[in-house]
Amino acid sequence: MYRLRCGVAGTLGVLLLAVLAVPAQAAAAAEFSPGSAGLGDPFFPLAGNGGYDVGHYSLVFSYDPATRLFDGTATVTATATQNLSRFDLDLRGFDIDRLTVNGAAAAFTRDGQELVITPSAGLPAGAVFTVVLGYSGIPSVVIDPDESIEGWVPTDDGAFVVGEPQGSPAWFPANDNPRDKATFDFTATVPVGITVMANGVLESQTTAGGRTTFVWRASSPMAPYLATATLGRFDLTQYTLPSGIPAYVAVDPTLPTGNVLRKLPDIVEFYSSIYGPYPFEAVGAVVDDAPDVGYSLETQTKPVFYRMPDEATLAHELSHQWYGDSVTLTEWPQMWLHEGFATWSEWIWSEHLGHKSAHQWFNTLYNTPAQNTAFWTPPPGDPGSPPYLFNGTIYYRGAMTLQALREKIGDGAFFQILRRWAVENRYGNVTTPQFVALAEQVSGRQLDHFFDVWLYQPDKPTSW
């Protein structure tokens, strides 16, 4: 994400949830128990749900920008990871007209973003089950702890659809946690003239009766927050990269044209050369006019931009395909693993072009006086509270951490670390301690003090 907003003054306390004791149950039912309502993320404790793992989402829907009415059927295929008597999906708003589990009607209740589903029979651990949900209504806009907006955001001609960190349940029932990646397909029907840009490869586009149906398939594992179906009037260009990957570039025709999008193949090729092979089945960009959103996001295979991006922003979001989308954090407070890497990626692209080097970018920022605590605090490894999740320090000081590491251990070890981090954790979830361990292993250096100073101490680093 390229957000870089100032931290919001004041503290929105993390909602702490009391864990309800599971009541004693009759012996016959005691082997089955409810899945948890959340996965305990420190910032978003209700995001995601326990007791199952989603394998695939099939999202079929129609949307009319004029009425803003969304009418969908979601089919979620999952595997129970415990004997489940009950489980949750995350969904915000909508009327539900049909809900089945394995073809049988299931009881449900709503509690905030929790859709609590009780199937007609318990689901044994290891069993694959299918949830079909018919739902309709006007999708919601979600306001984040830092007061920015996400979810399904209406635009002049459609919607800008972004879900980091908690917007996806605004348009589909999800296990909305970065740890539960799944494949997706999207079948979206809109008035003719509107283009739907979802993740993955465009399988078909057919028009009948004044409406066009787009079918997109995302065949690589994807965290729910990276899903999109941004739609509106777009000029869509399709081509193939030299590596054979299909590219889809959609631009709102009301925007001023520019040359920046022509850089996309070179940027992808450059990052592939240093980070390892491009991880997904498609690439591209969706350039919309969404001034109310005010940030861009690395939606998987096709980042979305709220305006025509500059070259640094295009490079930033494309680098996230490796660091963020393919290699994904485990818990939201470790956001520097995404934003520090993507910001440093802007610098190395600049250096590659013979422009300002990463060392020079580092020096410029390092000249910021220690007294400017808003620049240095909170430290990137510990944002402290949700309003600081996208604070400038996560980006800038996170990127400086990587450049400082590069200069401490040398280019040979440093670039080997970056590549191994991307290749060995492809489609996985990672933690900061894992990165520290890899850096120590590859460099043969003891780096506890280095990472403590750069990632966790609130003051400006002075010796490392």
Q: Which of 128, 131, 113 minimizes the C-alpha distance to 49? A: 113
**Sequence-distant (≥ 6) Cβ neighbours of residue 321 within 8 angstroms:** 271, 278, 279, 280, 283, 298, 300, 301, 303
Sheet architecture: strand order including 195-198 = 141-143, 149-154, 159-162, 229-232, 195-198
What's the closest the beta carbon of residue 5 comes to Zn ion, in angstroms? 12
Nearer to Zn ion, 54 or 342 (CB): 342
Name which of 303 and 387 has its Cβ closer to Zn ion.
303
| Min separation Cβ 303 and Zn ion, Å | 9
* Gap between the Cα atoms of 435 and 307, Å rounded: 34
Distance (Å, whole) CA 89 – CA 226:
17
Pick between residue 168 and residue 345 the one whose CB is nearest to Zn ion.
Answer: 345
Q: Which is nearer to Zn ion, 214 or 295 (CB)?
A: 295
As measured in angstroms, the least distance from the Cβ of 6 to Zn ion is 16
Q: What 8-state DSSP symbol labels residue 225?
A: G
Smallest separation, CB 328 to Zn ion (Å): 13
- Nearer of residues 1 and 418 to Zn ion, judged by Cβ: 1
Cβ closer to Zn ion: 1 or 402?
A: 1
CA distance 243 to 450: 38
Q: Which residue has the tokens 């861009």?
A: 296
Most distant pair of Cα atoms in the chain: their distance: 71
Contact 441, 417 (CB under 8 A): no
**Which residues of this chain interact with Zn ion, rule CB under 5 A?**
1, 339, 342
List the structure tokens of 431: 């933690």
- Between residues 313 and 443, which has the closer beta carbon with respect to Zn ion? 313
Which H/E stretch holds residue 299?
A: none
Closest distance of CB 95 from Zn ion, Å: 35
Q: Closest CB to Zn ion among 162 and 229?
A: 162
Shortest distance, position 342 Cβ to Zn ion, whole Å: 4
Instruction: Report yes or no: 279 and 226 within 8 Å, Cβ to Cβ.
Output: no
d(CA 245, CA 449): 42
- In whole angstroms, the minimum distance from the beta carbon of 274 to Zn ion comes to 18
Q: Classify the C-alpha dihedral 264-269-273-278 as positive or negative.
A: positive
326: exposed, middle or buried (Cβ count in 10 Å: 0-12, 13-18, 19+): buried
Exposed/middle/buried for 48, CB within 10 Å: 0-12, 13-18, 19+? buried
Would you list the DSSP string of 402-458?
A: HHHHHHHH-HHHHHHHHHHHHHHTTT-EE-HHHHHHHHHHHH----HHHHIIIII-S
Please, which residue, 195 or 299, has the CB nearer to Zn ion?
299
Q: Among residues 170 and 315, whose Cβ is nearest to Zn ion?
A: 315
* Whether 286 contacts 231, CB under 8 Å: no
Q: Minimum distance between the CB of residue 389 and Zn ion, rounded to whole angstroms?
A: 12
For Zn ion, the closer of residues 88 and 339 by Cβ is 339
Q: How far is the CB of 427 from Zn ion (least distance, A)?
A: 19
Q: Name the minimum Å distance from CB 319 to Zn ion.
A: 8
Amino acid occupying residue 402? L
- 140: exposed, middle or buried (Cβ count in 10 Å: 0-12, 13-18, 19+): middle
Provide, rounded to whole angstroms, the least separation between the CB of residue 339 and Zn ion: 5
Q: With respect to Zn ion, which residue has the nearer C-beta, 1 or 159?
A: 1
CB of 282 to Zn ion, least distance (A): 20
Two tokens, residue 412 = 């040979």
Token pair, residue 457, equals: 């101490």
